[in-house]
Amino acid sequence: DRPKPLTGRKAIVTSGPTHEPIDPVRYIANRSSGRQGHAIAAALAALGADVTLVSGPVSIPDPFGVRVIHVERADQMRDAVLAALPADVAVMVAAVADWRVASAADQKIKKHPGESIPTLALTENPDILKTVGHHTMRPKLVIGFAAETQDVESNAKAKLDRKGADIIVANDVSPATGIMGGVRNRVRIVSHSGIEQWPDLAKEEVATRLAAMVAERLKQ
Ligand code: C5P
């Protein structure tokens, strides 16, 4: 057997949405299925990498050959990612909620007839990609995703520097594309050396190509 290209390399992948509690029974979330992140974790493992997948709540199974840490909230995801450092590559695919409820209620918020409707005060969540991209233990290769509904390319370029990422995988998640929660993806690979448009592919195929790109970049 020839050695696999990522044998001896450590990878951290985030995947899925986060659930930010409102009270013990309610939460804020998004439409992420975890399919793309899980496929990337599996593809890196298939090339021999030692993969830690930090996953938000998803309904798909744990990928084969990968260490999976299940979390709910963004702060838990950040803690799990930082605990998994150092690594050679980080691929932050999770659709982390940008905001959480500032003070989630300890008990279920009750509906009382005639009383005013509650309002939710939000506060910013930690940016996990940005934290990893600027960390003293920054992986050699840091890859982020950019789910946008407009100005996909310019938003992705701006994100490279702001987040301290080497590559931003940009996709248009406008409802008409069916990408968010779907099985296919159409991405652009944005890096300081330019932009590469990939065709419409199954998320597994996007993952295979991305893993090959990771192996290529880590070889240099
Ligand atoms: O800024 P925006 O949310 O569009 O950036 C998307 C990228 O940043 C994704 O790679 C996502 O996983 C990551 N991210 C993160 N923590 C956040 C928000 C986004 O890791 N709080």
pLDDT at 179 over 80: no
Q: Is 92 in the pocket of ligand 1 (CB under 6 A)?
A: yes
Q: Quick one: which of 64, 68, 61, 9 has its CA closest to 42?
A: 64
Cα 111 to ligand 1 centre (Å): 34
Q: Which atom of ligand 1 is nearest to the CA of 162?
A: 1
Q: Quick one: which of 85, 50, 81 has its CA closest to 65?
A: 50
Query: Rounded CA gap, 125 and 134, in Å?
Result: 17
Could you identify the residue written with the tokens 């909230």?
73
Q: Phi then psi for 177, rounded to 5 degrees?
A: -75, -25
Arithmetic mean of pLDDT, 126-139: 98
Is residue 185 a contact partner of residue 161, using CB atoms and an 8 Å limit? no
Residue 50: band (very low, low, confident or very high) from pLDDT cuts 50, 70, 90? very high
Residue 60: band (very low, low, confident or very high) from pLDDT cuts 50, 70, 90? very high
Q: What is the pLDDT of residue 124?
A: 98
Q: Is 80 in the pocket of ligand 1 (CB under 6 A)?
A: no
Q: Is 96 in the pocket of ligand 1 (CB under 6 A)?
A: yes
- Tell me the whole-structure pTM to 2 decimals: 0.95
Strand partners, 194: 191
Query: Rounded CA gap, 158 and 155, in Å?
Result: 5
Is the complex ipTM higher than 0.90?
A: yes
- The secondary structure element, H or E, covering residue 170 is strand 167-172
Residue 173: band (very low, low, confident or very high) from pLDDT cuts 50, 70, 90? confident
Arithmetic mean of pLDDT, 13-26: 98
**163 assigned ligand-binding residue:** yes
pLDDT at 57 over 90: yes
pLDDT at 165 over 80: yes
Q: Which atom of ligand 1 is nearest to the CA of 148?
A: 4
Q: Which atom of ligand 1 is nearest to the CA of 132?
A: 20
**Which tokens sit at 187?**
């991405």
Query: Rounded CA gap, 114 and 49, in Å?
Result: 58
Q: Output the average pLDDT for the chain.
A: 94
